[in-house]
């Protein structure tokens, strides 16, 4: 297992469209495990491969209080979504220190492969539905800051760029 480095907004690599996994193998299973380890260490509730600069369609999440319910979604697809929306204050390990309200469908049905490469479908509600939609966005090069006002997004970008310069 390994901790992976997380890309931070506005890194252009976060805009990459991830490619589907064609075949489950040890390398993909290792990626799943490393994503979970990196997410738990952060700590976070969701992490997409895009965020660690691996442009494959893999995401992990765990919204339980005690890190007891790891979920792996490979090649995830939303096959149904509710008309009703809910609003969450979203954050992102790639946008550290910033949280903004985002509206998304309140429940979704997601079809994906698990860590063993088996297909499954899951109905998700509440925070888990929001989290998986947020992570699928990453696989498509999209960030939660794309849903907020350009003024707020620019302010976040400027603050993070300043931090990155200091660190470099
Ligand atoms: C996505 O985000 C999410 O700013 C997962 O300083 C978040 O795990 C979906 C984190 C909220 C729905 C609601 C963020 C950790 C973790 C930070 C995360 C930070 C440290 C974010
Ligand atoms: Co995120």
Q: Where are the alpha helices (DSSP H) in 14-121?
A: 26-41
For ligand 2, the distance from its centroid to the CA atom of residue 152, given in whole angstroms, is 17
Cα-flanking dihedrals φ and ψ of residue 86, to 5°?
Answer: -130, 160
What pLDDT does 1 receive?
A: 85
Would strands 100-105 and 107-113 be described as parallel, antiparallel, or unpaired? Answer: unpaired
The 8-class DSSP code of residue 14 comes to: G
pLDDT above 70 as % of the chain:
100
Q: Is the CB of 130 under 6 A from ligand 1?
A: yes
Q: Is the CB of 88 under 6 A from ligand 1?
A: yes
Mean pLDDT per segment of 10 residues, for the chain of length 168 residues?
Answer: 96 98 97 98 98 98 97 98 98 98 98 98 98 99 98 98 94
């Amino acid at each position: 297992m390994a901790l992976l480095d997380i890309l931070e907004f506005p890194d252009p690599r976060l805009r990459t469209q991830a490619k589907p996994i064609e075949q489950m193998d040890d390398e993909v299973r290792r990626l799943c495990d490393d994503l979970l380890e990196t997410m738990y260490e952060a700590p976070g509730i969701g992490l997409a491969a895009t965020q660690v600069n691996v442009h494959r369609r893999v995401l992990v999440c765990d919204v339980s209080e005690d890190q007891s319910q790891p979920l792996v979604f490979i090649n995830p697809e939303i096959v149904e979504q509710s008309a009703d929306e809910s609003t969450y204050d979203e954050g992102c390990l790639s946008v550290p220190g910033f949280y903004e309200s985002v509206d998304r469908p309140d429940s979704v049905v997601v079809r994906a492969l698990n860590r063993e490469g088996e297909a499954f479908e899951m109905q998700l509600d509440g925070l888990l539905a929001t989290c998986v939609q947020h992570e699928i966005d990453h696989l498509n090069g999209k960030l939660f800051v794309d849903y907020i006002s350009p003024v707020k997004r620019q302010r976040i970008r400027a603050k993070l760029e300043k931090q990155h310069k200091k660190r470099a």
